[in-house]
């Protein structure tokens, strides 16, 4: 929702006007305030209602994080296998 509102605000602007519009909104205080509000909304929506959703968020977030951490290793392994196939299985 916030991104849609931001898009609607800057939609009619010229490109050179956008940085001057965004710069005062991207201060450390505004970012911190927005993050605090997001955490408060999450707590109200999930934690205080005793829903099991936060447990699912932690599980799926952990799976996504572990996938992203392992991705460079897997890509290197795949590149090595492709190199072995290309050279006929010879080690280099």
What confidence category does residue 3 fall into, taking pLDDT thresholds of 50, 70 and 90? confident
Q: Are residues 58 and 73 in the same domain?
A: yes
Task: Measure CA of the first residue to CA of the last residue in the chain; give whole Å.
Answer: 53
pLDDT in tens, 49-70: 888 999 999 999 999 999 999 9
16/60 same-domain check: no
Domain identity same for 2 and 41: yes
Number of domains in the chain: 2
Residue 2 structure tokens: 């916030």
Q: Say yes or no: 60 and 79 in one domain.
A: yes
- Tokens encoding 59: 């599980």
Same domain, 29 and 2: yes
pTM for the full model?
0.58
Residue 37, token pair as written in the block? 């509000």
User: Domain range spanning residue 83?
Assistant: 51-91
Whether 4 and 42 share a structural domain: yes
């Amino acid at each position: 929702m916030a991104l849609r509102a931001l898009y609607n605000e800057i939609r009619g602007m010229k490109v050179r006007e956008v940085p001057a519009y965004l710069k005062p909104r991207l201060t450390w205080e505004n970012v911190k305030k927005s993050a605090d509000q997001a955490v408060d909304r999450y707590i109200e929506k999930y934690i205080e209602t005793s829903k099991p959703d936060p447990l699912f968020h932690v599980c799926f977030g952990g799976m996504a994080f572990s996938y992203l951490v392992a991705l460079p290793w897997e890509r290197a392994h795949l590149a090595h296998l492709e190199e072995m196939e290309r050279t006929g299985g010879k080690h280099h």
